[in-house]
Chain A
Amino acid sequence: MRHHLILRVITKLLVGAMMLFAFYVQFHGDYSPGGGFQAGVIMAVAFIIYGIVFDLDHVQRVLPPWIAHKMLAIGVLLYSGTGIVSFFQGLNFLDYTAFSPHHPVHGQHYGIFAVELGVGITVTGVMVSIYYAFAGRTSEIRDEDW
């Protein structure tokens, strides 16, 4: 896509806004629609768009495949780790009261924050890794083919 000037300029402008929107959806999920799943997908789309319009190598310089692969596991570990923390306070699995025993409502906020972050990291990792797995096999498509 070397000579698609408009696409390249628009993508450069939009990728930042997309990532910002992903963070908004991620951390504002308590107050508005959205949460980890949606935010993870939007974040992944920002990377994928960049990879499609520029080059797979370019995007892999920003987010190398080994980091994307680690993100799969880190998210799930963060989620289940949040659950295990409450064991140390003698509470049930995933009982967020553990984060702030005197203010259970605050504890819920921290717990939901951590859990949603875990979901977001896993979803971003999975989507980007799937894209890398597909795009890594592609023989360069010629622009005339589109």
Chain B
Amino acid sequence: METFINIILFTLLVVTAIAVTRTHGLFGVAMLSGVFSLLSALLLVTLDAVDVAFTEAAVGAGISTVLMLSALSLTSRHEKESSRSNVVPLLVVMCTGILLFYGTLDMPNFGEEGSPAQNHVSKAYIERSPSEIGVPNIVTAILASYRGYDTMGETAVVFTAGVGVLLLLSGLQRRRRKEYKKSGKL
């Protein structure tokens, strides 16, 4: 059953990706990329990574689609026709894909007993977190307590990204408003 679901989800992912490349209306592309994110969220659910799936659905399908749309309203709604040939990009993509496949050959099989992911700290987290942290959701226990320092770094990254966008966009707005005032139109 799981194989069946996986096959369907991956087929839909590929169909969505092809649809993105074939669509020229940017509104449709933004929507399709949201669909792509939702499908990846579903794939993560089948891997039992519910927290990651939740993040993917909220961030990938939710807010980035909305931000994409609000960015879209600043430009035109249609893609510019490209005059260059598609051969070189296609080659680059194919080579990268083959290299990635080659890389997965070295990885342990999914859920394999002897893989490093199952043997190092994760065992200790599962054994110790009920008595040490007392939080039923081990993911939260790891993120906020065992790896609290990392999460602080992530929060700082989000903060920095926000400050960067604010500096780039709102500074421009203020300057424009000043110029507008100077030109005496107000």
Contacts and interface: CB of A to CB of B under 8 A. Distances in A.
Contacts of A69: 166
Contacts of B47: none
A111 B161 CA distance: 25
B121 interface: no
Query: B-side binding surface: helix, strand, loop or mixed?
Result: helix
B162 A42 contact: no
A112 B66 CA distance: 30
B62 to A, nearest CB: 5
Nearest to A121: B155
Nearest to A126: B162
B129 to A, nearest CB: 9
Contact of A129 (B62, B165, B172): B165
Query: A-side binding surface: helix, strand, loop or mixed?
Result: helix
Contact of A112 (B63, B145, B158): B145
Contact of A134 (B27, B70, B77, B140): B70
Interface string A61-94: 0000000010011011001100100000000011
Contacts of A73: 159
B73 interface: yes
Contacts of B166: 69, 129-130, 133
Interface residues of A, number: 55
Contacts of A93: 149
B74 A45 contact: no
A34 B159 contact: no
A73 B163 CA distance: 9
Given A80-B152, A137-B172, 4 more contacts: A76-B159, A94-B148, A108-B133, A130-B165
Interface of A: 25, 29-35, 37-38, 41-42, 44-45, 48-49, 52, 69, 72-73, 75-76, 79-80, 83, 93-94, 96, 104-105, 108-109, 111-112, 115-116, 118-119, 122-123, 125-127, 129-131, 133-138, 141, 145-146
